[in-house]
Structure 1
Amino acid sequence: MSIPWGNILVILALGAAFIASSWYISRKVSTADDYISGNGKLGVAFGTTSLLAFWVTGNTIMAAPEAAYGMGVIGAIAYSFLGGVAVVAFSPLGKRIHEVIPNGKTVGDFYKNRFDSKTYFFFLIMVFIYIFGLLMTQGIGGGLLLEQIFNIPYELAVILTFLIVIIYASMGGFSSVTGIAFFQVMLIFIVVIVVPPIVYFSTGVAPVYEGMLELAPEKLDLFLPAGILFMFAGAMMGIGEVFMDNTFWQRAYAVRKDKLMSIFGLAGIGWFFVPLATATLAFVAIGTGQAPDQINQVAPYIAEIYGGKFVSWVFLVGVWSALASTIAAILNSLVSLILNDVYKTINPKADDKKLLKTGKWLTVVIGILALLISLPKFLTMLQMLIFLGVINAAFVFPIIYGLFWKKLNANVAFAAAVLAVIGGYLAYFTVGDLQGVVTSGWISFLVCWIGSLVKPANYNWERLYQVGNSAEVKRK
């Protein structure tokens, strides 16, 4: 395959714009705290766009059509339900976080101080596995996108995507990621607004519906069992992902407390329409009998066939922006977690200058590692999302109970997470992938509930409240 240098220049130009913007923003980043959580409280506009830029991922735009292609209309609705409900559900959680641990920085601050060391370290291991898996899905998505639409070899596409993100994310950390997110969201929404209408103007709505009715009538069934299962398993998976993901905890701390409910509510509602819009491209594939080489390429495949060159370019810029914003947010989230919860423990005497320098180097090292594990094509994006969903579901109830119910003790939380992960993956490999997610969630819930009744704790919330307090900080 000859290398299309003109197409590569488009990505390089977009990447250069992100890097230049990051350099400008990073000039104000002077401390490790700035790098981890920014240097100010985000309002509604930047708070909402920051959430959307992270949560509208390569999965959102590439895996949502994959779900619709496999399960039809209910698959599209279920995928939209997955993420939208999860972000809205985080609203009361975020409010509670501000109340009980107002000076925290990461989800690790909660786990370390609410439970014991074994529960905390098991959580860290699982969250690192989850984050690297999520990074891999974004790398795969970027590689497939550039390969499908712009004929850039997969390996070169992955390398190009990660190198650009590593450069701009390492400059200013959280401040750079959230600052650039506003513009990335604008590019993402161009895809939602422009691409599906142009494709349907070309094919017509009625011919697509009639084609589905003739070629795959089961895909129009709103009660398709696989789709219903995916809806409930997906909600559990999405809520677990949001609740345990440090990216959302970072933003809960970074936004203004009085605007938190509005920001997370708007982000959840706004997110709902993105996968729903892009998933409709799969209906065109079904109704016209088109079959991509790989199922998770269905959206760019249809955009290229029925939208022409212009739509292909629009799709590329928007979706690649989504991938870049998510990879950047995940990188910063993981670096913040390691810096705050691991490095400070190993080197407690490190000064602020040392912490800031370490944070930048960690971004580069983790980014390169994520690049390397993204080069092989292990699973489709949706398959990887469901695989990681078993881990996500296992931590939903330890986090909910841990924030709201003082009776949950550390041993029960540990047992709930461990048994849920083990039981979930046993069901995943023996019964079915979605059944594994549901099993994990149910085990987590039952162990937390019954265990807290049998052996209740009496946790002192003051311990969480004092996290991050300096000697002179007084409780109001």
Structure 2
Amino acid sequence: MSFILSQEIGYLIFIGGGLIMTALVLLLIFVDTKWLGTRKTFEWFSTAGRNIKSGLLASSVISAWIWAATLLESSTVAYKYGIGGPFWYAAGASIQIILFAVIALELKKRAPSSHTFTEFLYLRLGKFGHKVFLLFALLANSIVTAMLVLGGAAALNALTGIDITIACFIIPLSIMMYTYFGGLKATFFADYLNTSLIFIAILILVTGIYFFNPNIGGITGLFEGLQLASTINPVEGNSGGSFLTLASIGALIFGIINIIGNFGTVFVDQAFWQRAIASRPKSLIKGFFIGGLAWFAIPFALATSLGLAGIALHLDLSPSEVSHGLVAPITISTLLGEVGGILILTMLFTAVTCAGSAELVAFSSLFTFDIYRTYFKPSASGRQLMRISKYSVLAFGFGIGVLSLSLFHIGLNLQYIYLSMGILIGSAVGPISLSLIWKKTNKTSASLSALFGLLAGIFVWLFSAYSLYGNISVLSTSHDIPLLFGNLTSFATGFAFVILGSLIKPDNFNFNITKQRIVVVEERIRSLIKEDNDENLLKKRTLFGYKYGIIFTLILVVIWPLPLFFSGYIFSFEFFLFWILLSIFWTLAAACFLIIKPIIESKREISTVLSNLMIVIRSKFLFRKDENMLLSPLYGTVNSNLESSTANTNYKRILVAVDGSMPSIRALDYASHTFQLDSLIYVLHIIEWPEGTEDNATASEYDTELLKRIEKEGRLVLSSILIKNSKRCERIVKVGDPANRIIKTAHDLNVDIIVLGTRGLGHSEDLGHVTKKILSESNKPVLLLN
């Protein structure tokens, strides 16, 4: 059997790409921790510091929602049902992201310090309820990740010939590499890069198909090809048998299954709760709304182009190829050859690794907080939790490879798992949502309704398959009607029983319990949560979310498609042209926003990084270790004899930073000997401590007793240092980020010059990172001594 690509290319993309992504993410983390002052704590690993803004949040939401199914299954339903398939895929999986934003904001209101949604449910529903929904959350993780691996492995095998068994372990390996080191923050960094890459690739692909590929003949050729295909092979259940209509029974049934199933894989998936927890409340609604609407463009544009192109090219695909999601890879390879194969495989790599990383971090959080800390070691330290989180990433990554391979060998493919997932986890949506927004939700009925809904959904699914097709098998249960009945039963039963039980025996839960009993250890994060807990702001954002969430939902699944369905309208060329151009412009607008918005939001951080980079470059080329130098951000770099230049300069107020290192001691000794006798020398010692909010914490934000203790330790350090002419010296102790405190103290005291060592207690070979930051950001002259 011949393949479009060689196995070497497949290995290069998935293993080489994973290594490149790991290196890039580690570089970004290095910059974030060394130059932007982020501390690698457990909160950083699991919640990304809870300070993610709307642009990066939108990119991350999209990245977590771009599965292999997004690129593969969406093209499959276009190939099966025509233009209605990708529309219902897009609409049926966008509204959940939009509506989830409102429920996620409720979690921010009810339990602002929570790390997982099940951590909240532990207090809200008790141990039994916690175990029930923890089971559903882990099941959602497993289903989503198995789909990612199965879809990616099938495509990798079809394009390169790499054995499915090997592919099922290569893909998790590429995901684990950077997730292990970077946690959720690494995922956010990678999400932005991969989302940008996928949108650019989609724009290149669809414009190439519609405007430049001679095999299609442009939009006109595609339209004529679909008309001919509708005549030769009419679609059963479509208006006029046409591929050019939304009046499709098959597409509508798929749309209903898609909507129900995706409610489960959003509302029950910790990956999306994790993104909500990591964001600021003022960014949450905007980030998820934009993410949902921008994500709509991916299946709307990509699947419409690839799925319809496969029809117009009259590709004769086997049922097995269709069910494994190979319409998109085969179509693009037919159109673009090896280049097309590389393009789709690269897109699959980015989709699988990003969504997979989100699921790994989600599983890690569930295992660490809801299993290890809750039931095994409640007193675990942050260091222990970090270690358990990393081990669980490795365990889940390996385990999902085994699970995916097992599902493949028993005959379950991407399409089967995608369409049945709502039956397995859809019953949990109602109880989870109502437990957050309704204080009368009965905890027993909430837990039992999820379990009963699961059993009822499975029973109806299997019973309808047996009644219609005479047996229960993978084939009979994969038909549309049994899947539709099973999904509807599971979802509706979960809602119905929790409402009925709560009306019969209502609880009266006090949500202040979840606010008070779920705590964050790290002071900086506590300060940030306290700042964001503005009831008026949260109330306004919640009302905004409900209002526009309902409006967007009605537009996407009622106002837009249903008139076209009930009218039986078959697209004219003019309407088809409008439809295609709309998909392209929607994708272009989404791409521009998602690429540019995070850069604008991070302009301050980018400026800091560039400044530090310039300092590094300047120090490499201009700084000589063997010479004393006077460096000033105002006047450049001056080689001089310091004894004469500084003594003859009228410096009356001098700030000397001392951390106990030899260069800082020499800087203090030099200042006490050299400057004029009437000069006042401030000897500053900084006790390093994590800064607070974006505007920097003040000492008053720290615990009073702890502050007194660490200031006392700082004064002991300074008192142990002998200072010549100590009568003209004033000792000062500060707490916080060293560079920020030195710069701020110099400004507050209005000193004439800052004196410090070239490096502190670190292991830097030239300039320390604190020194570099002071040179970059201070407007005071700076004197450095080795």
TM-score, normalized by length of structure 2? 0.58
Partners of 2:67 and 2:352 within 8 A in 1: yes
Question: 1:301-336 CA distances to partner (integer Å, 9 max, x unpaired)?
Answer: 100001222222222112210011111110110011
Partner Cα distance (2:139, 2:228) in 1: 42
Partner Cα distance (2:50, 2:426) in 1: 32
- Comparing 68-77 with 321-330, greater Cα deviation is found at 68-77
Match of residue 365, structure 2, among 336, 352, 357:
336
Aligned position for 2:207 = 197
Deviation for aligned residue 1:11? 3.2
Match of residue 141, structure 1, among 147, 151, 154:
151
Larger-gyration structure (1/2)? 2
Deviation for aligned residue 1:48? 0.9
Amino acid at match of 1:409: N
Aligned position for 1:352 = 382
Partner Cα distance (2:103, 2:139) in 1: 23
Name structure 2 gaps, 5 residues minimum. 34-38, 465-481, 535-786
Please show how residues 98-177 of structure 1 align to structure 2 within 5 Å.
98-177=108-187
- Comparing 54-63 with 71-80, greater Cα deviation is found at 71-80
Partner Cα distance (2:230, 2:48) in 1: 52
- Of all paired residues, the percent bearing the same amino acid is 23
Q: Pick closer, same or farther for the CA change 1:417–1:152 going to 2, 3 Å.
A: same
Is 1:300 aligned to 2:329, yes or no?
Answer: yes
Partner Cα distance (1:372, 1:459) in 2: 42
Aligned position for 1:394 = 427
Aligned position for 2:739 = none
Q: Pick closer, same or farther for the CA change 1:247–1:71 going to 2, 3 Å.
A: same
Partners of 1:54 and 1:325 within 8 A in 2: yes
Where in structure 1 do 4 or more consecutive aligned residues deviate above 4 Å? 470-476
Partner Cα distance (2:10, 2:255) in 1: 38
- Comparing 30-39 with 453-462, greater Cα deviation is found at 30-39
Question: 1:42-74 CA distances to partner (integer Å, 9 max, x unpaired)?
Answer: 112211111111111111111111222233322
Partners of 2:140 and 2:268 within 8 A in 1: no
Amino acid at match of 1:212: A
Partner Cα distance (2:161, 2:434) in 1: 49
Match of residue 410, structure 1, among 422, 440, 443:
443
Aligned position for 1:213 = 230
Partner Cα distance (2:72, 2:517) in 1: 40
Question: 1:381-437 CA distances to partner (integer Å, 9 max, x unpaired)?
Answer: 232022221133201111221111111111110121011101111122222012211
Partners of 1:216 and 1:286 within 8 A in 2: no
Is 1:464 aligned to 2:514, yes or no?
Answer: yes
Partner Cα distance (1:220, 1:48) in 2: 32
Q: Pick closer, same or farther for the CA change 1:196–1:208 going to 2, 3 Å.
A: farther
Partner Cα distance (2:82, 2:68) in 1: 20
Amino acid at match of 2:507: A
Please show how residues 19-168 of structure 1 align to structure 2 within 5 Å.
19-27=22-30, 28=33, 30-168=40-178
SS across alignment from 1:39? helix
Deviation for aligned residue 1:292? 3.1
Deviation for aligned residue 1:93? 1.1
Aligned position for 2:18 = 15
Question: 1:178-211 CA distances to partner (integer Å, 9 max, x unpaired)?
Answer: 1111111112113321223323433132233223
Partner Cα distance (2:168, 2:252) in 1: 34
Partners of 1:170 and 1:363 within 8 A in 2: yes
Partner Cα distance (1:427, 1:237) in 2: 16
Question: 1:358-380 CA distances to partner (integer Å, 9 max, x unpaired)?
Answer: 11111111101111222242422
Match of residue 441, structure 1, among 473, 491, 509:
491
Partners of 1:188 and 1:319 within 8 A in 2: no
Give the aligned length.
Answer: 476
Partner Cα distance (1:284, 1:197) in 2: 13
Partner Cα distance (2:453, 2:389) in 1: 33
SS across alignment from 1:104? coil
Partner Cα distance (2:129, 2:249) in 1: 36
Aligned position for 1:256 = 280
- Comparing 80-89 with 286-295, greater Cα deviation is found at 286-295
Partners of 1:59 and 1:137 within 8 A in 2: yes
Amino acid at match of 1:449: I
Q: Pick closer, same or farther for the CA change 1:25–1:343 going to 2, 3 Å.
A: farther
Deviation for aligned residue 1:111? 1.6
Aligned position for 1:279 = 303
Aligned position for 1:236 = 260
Is 1:370 aligned to 2:388, yes or no?
Answer: no
Question: 1:267-314 CA distances to partner (integer Å, 9 max, x unpaired)?
Answer: 000111111222221222233331334111101110000122222222
Partner Cα distance (2:341, 2:7) in 1: 15
Q: Looking at both structures, which has the greater relative contact order when contacts are Cα pairs under 8 Å and sequence separation is at least 6?
A: 1
Partner Cα distance (1:162, 1:238) in 2: 23
Amino acid at match of 1:19: T
Q: CA RMSD in A?
A: 2.1
SS across alignment from 2:72? helix
Partner Cα distance (1:239, 1:93) in 2: 12
Aligned position for 2:316 = 291
SS across alignment from 2:326? helix
- Comparing 429-438 with 46-55, greater Cα deviation is found at 429-438
Deviation for aligned residue 1:101? 1.0
Name structure 1 gaps, 5 residues minimum. none
Q: Write 1 or 2 for the structure with the bigger share of helix.
A: 1
Partner Cα distance (2:316, 2:498) in 1: 45
Q: Write 1 or 2 for the structure with the bigger share of strand.
A: 2
Match of residue 266, structure 1, among 290, 295, 318:
290
Partner Cα distance (1:81, 1:467) in 2: 39
Deviation for aligned residue 1:221? 4.4
